[in-house]
């Protein structure tokens, strides 16, 4: 398990934003992963996507790494942010914008505003 934790830690540290998900950013394999990837894609966030379905060790390892039982999992600047429900809430409240801004992660503010408008 140490090797898996090292691989995960290296990935999380090497990328400003990482999404551990079922499937890929272009072809999500579950609705929750699709929702988070869709938000990041729409907002133009540059992120690494890790398909947990392609590696059983990563699929379980990421749950152990974060002590969070579900996938997807979003990391920003090495810190675990949350899963689908948390990211959805943060997007709608504007907290995700603030987190990205505070960490110097570029995103399309107009797109973020459009998400909120569409869900108002």
30 is in an annotated binding site: yes
91 and 113 Cβ atoms separated by less than 8 Å: no
Listing from the earlier edge strand, what are the strands of the sheet with 73-76? Answer: 48-51, 17-21, 73-76, 79-82
Q: How far apart are CA 54 and CA 114, in angstroms?
A: 33
Q: How far apart are CA 41 and CA 26, in angstroms?
A: 9
* H helix runs in 2-120, sequence order: 2-14, 31-42, 56-66, 84-93, 95-102, 109-118
Binding residue positions for [2Fe-2S] cluster? 30
Binding residue positions? 30
């Amino acid at each position: 398990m140490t090797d898996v934790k090292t691989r995960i830690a290296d990935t999380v540290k090497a990328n400003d934003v990482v999404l551990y998900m079922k499937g890929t950013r272009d072809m999500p394999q579950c609705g929750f992963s699709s929702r988070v990837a869709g938000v990041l894609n729409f907002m133009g966030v540059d992120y690494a996507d890790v398909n947990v379905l392609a590696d059983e060790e990563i699929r379980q390892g990421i749950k152990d790494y974060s002590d969070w039982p579900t996938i997807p999992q979003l990391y920003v600047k090495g810190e675990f942010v949350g899963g689908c429900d948390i990211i959805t809430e943060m997007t709608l409240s504007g907290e995700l914008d603030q987190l990205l801004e505070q960490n110097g992660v570029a995103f399309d503010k107009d797109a973020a505003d459009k998400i909120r408008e569409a869900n108002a």
